[in-house]
Amino acid sequence: MTIPAPLRYAIVGTGSRAQLYIDAITGAHRDRALLVAWADTNPGRLGYHHDRLPEGIPAPHRFDPGDLATVVAEQHVDRVIVTAPDAFHAQLVATALDVGADAIVEKPLTTTEEGVRTIADAVGRTGRNFTITFNYRYSPRNSALREVIARGDIGEVTSVHFEWMLDTAHGADYFRRWHRDKSISGGLLIHKASHHFDLVNWWIDDVPTRVFASGGLRFYGRENATARGIGERPDRGTTDSPLRDAFSLDLRADDQLRGLYLDQERYDGYRRDQDVFDPGITIEDNLSLVVDYARGASMSYSLNAHSPWEGYMVSVNGTRGRAELRVVERGAVLLDEQHRVVVDPSARPDLVIDEGSRPASESLVVQRHFAAAEEIPIPAAEGGHGGGDAVLLRDVFRGVGDDPLHRAATWHDGVRAVVVGLAGNRSLRTGQAVRVADLDLGTAATSAESER
């Protein structure tokens, strides 16, 4: 058997998510991958990662993101990994494909209709393909639900009810960072929920056709704080001000936050610890959707970003019964005497069904008509995103094997996940239901075919 030569990689956007790929290339997958170049608009963050490269790994060539095309050619880059903020994905992907590299892009694919067209045109022009990394598909609990449905255990799917809770630690964080600006993240319907919409498309193997959305900023933001009588706030979390509280994130308290963001503010002025009750936040924190699918099923979906616990509940109704997946990712956000956040998964004992070492709990129950409920075992997993990250990296760096679950997502899957958010955002603006076909995004958005 011949061992393939390592592929040459470049990374664009070396913030926190990039760490996963840097670790994979310089660690578990170093026999298959070589990091030859990296770029960021903030040179300090490149320096941070440079200082932490494992011994023996040569320093990658540093470049400005605007020079991607030149660097791909000069450094003979095979694949470009895009981990920049969401609004920049489409242009970076198109540039990479146009100069003959493959691309790997973090979710979400893009934040706008224009971004989808840019990518579809680049794929059409170049014939090149790329990977979008939907890590949630790989977590065993989500794979188990896909298996249940694909096996026909609950019959033909008729409807889905899906509720996602982000807590006052993780959920609040979207309101401190670039994510709070809809023009960069597309809002949580794009940035966060594209994970969830991809899961549903994949679970039920169907294509979304129409979306009605309602929602708003009802908890975070200055207006809501004022209405609830919250007074003066510190302008950032990294402060000794007596005004700091449970929503203040002190970047000094964590080595990675300090090194990646606080120490690098002098280059671009970006503050990672803005106040969640600031004026000017343009994303929603409560969202409700009704989504129709091509084969006739519908979904009710909701997202809340200030829940006391974090996780999700999904029920899938079918012609032969029903499947229920209930996941507690974090049982509670609690505070110590200094108002620092402490997490305690056992604070919701009613929801914690696993007494073992896992920090959270999960259960998948299938109940067929006229039969007792049956708990479906979920294999244990370790690591980020319910164990999804590690398996995803194996597919990305070592190639996709024969997978009956079809977990590796195609770029069409990326489009079909993001169109629910795009149609949802349009529905929020117009107050009307929006047909996906009316977004005019071509067959990638509307057909069930998948293309690599």
Q: Catalog residues that contact ligand NAD under the rule CB under 6 A.
A: 12-18, 39-42, 45, 65, 83-86, 88, 106-107, 135, 191, 385
C-beta atoms surrounding 282 within 10 Å: 13
* Cβ-based nearer residue to ligand NAD, 88 or 203: 88
Q: CB of 163 within 8 A of CB of 195?
A: no
* Cβ-based nearer residue to ligand NAD, 192 or 326: 192
Of 199, 206, 137, 148, nearest to 400 by C-alpha is 137
Q: How far is the CB of 312 from ligand NAD (least distance, A)?
A: 14
Q: How far is the CB of 158 from ligand NAD (least distance, A)?
A: 30
* Cβ-based nearer residue to ligand NAD, 29 or 191: 191
* Cβ-based nearer residue to ligand NAD, 49 or 412: 49
Q: How far apart are CA 129 and CA 280, in angstroms?
A: 38
Q: How far apart are CA 40 and CA 38, in angstroms?
A: 7
DSSP 349: T
* Cβ-based nearer residue to ligand NAD, 26 or 224: 26
Beta sheet of 79-82, edge-to-edge order: 61-63, 33-39, 7-12, 79-82, 102-106, 130-133
Q: How far apart are CA 70 and CA 110, in angstroms?
A: 23
Kind and range of the H or E run holding 182: helix 182-185
* Cβ-based nearer residue to ligand NAD, 45 or 416: 45
Q: Is the dihedral of CA 184, 263, 54, 77 positive or negative?
A: positive
Q: CB of 94 within 8 A of CB of 190?
A: no
Q: How far is the CB of 272 from ligand NAD (least distance, A)?
A: 7
Q: How far apart are CA 137 and CA 144, in angstroms?
A: 10
* Cβ-based nearer residue to ligand NAD, 85 or 215: 85
DSSP 377: P
* Cβ-based nearer residue to ligand NAD, 108 or 321: 108
| Reduced 3-state DSSP string for 17-45 | CHHHHHHHHHCCCCCCEEEEEEECCCHHH
Q: How far is the CB of 87 from ligand NAD (least distance, A)?
A: 8
* Cβ-based nearer residue to ligand NAD, 107 or 326: 107
Q: How far apart are CA 426 and CA 250, in angstroms?
A: 36
Q: How far is the CB of 51 from ligand NAD (least distance, A)?
A: 15
Q: How far apart are CA 103 and CA 129, in angstroms?
A: 7
Kind and range of the H or E run holding 201: helix 193-204
Q: How far is the CB of 107 from ligand NAD (least distance, A)?
A: 5
The full length of the chain comes to: 452
Q: How far is the CB of 374 from ligand NAD (least distance, A)?
A: 31
C-beta atoms surrounding 377 within 10 Å: 8
Q: How far apart are CA 368 and CA 386, in angstroms?
A: 27
* Cβ-based nearer residue to ligand NAD, 18 or 148: 18
User: Which value, in Å, is the radius of gyration of the alpha carbons in the chain?
Assistant: 22
Of 80, 59, 57, nearest to 68 by C-alpha is 80
Q: How far is the CB of 67 from ligand NAD (least distance, A)?
A: 11
Q: Which residues pair with 367 in a beta bridge?
A: 322
> Cα 27 to the chain's mean position, in Å?
23
Q: How far is the CB of 329 from ligand NAD (least distance, A)?
A: 12
User: Minimal CB distance to ligand NAD: which residue?
Assistant: 15
Q: CB of 11 within 8 A of CB of 133?
A: no
Q: How far is the CB of 13 from ligand NAD (least distance, A)?
A: 3
Q: CB of 71 within 8 A of CB of 37?
A: yes
* Cβ-based nearer residue to ligand NAD, 271 or 320: 271
Q: How far is the CB of 408 from ligand NAD (least distance, A)?
A: 14
Q: How far is the CB of 54 from ligand NAD (least distance, A)?
A: 20
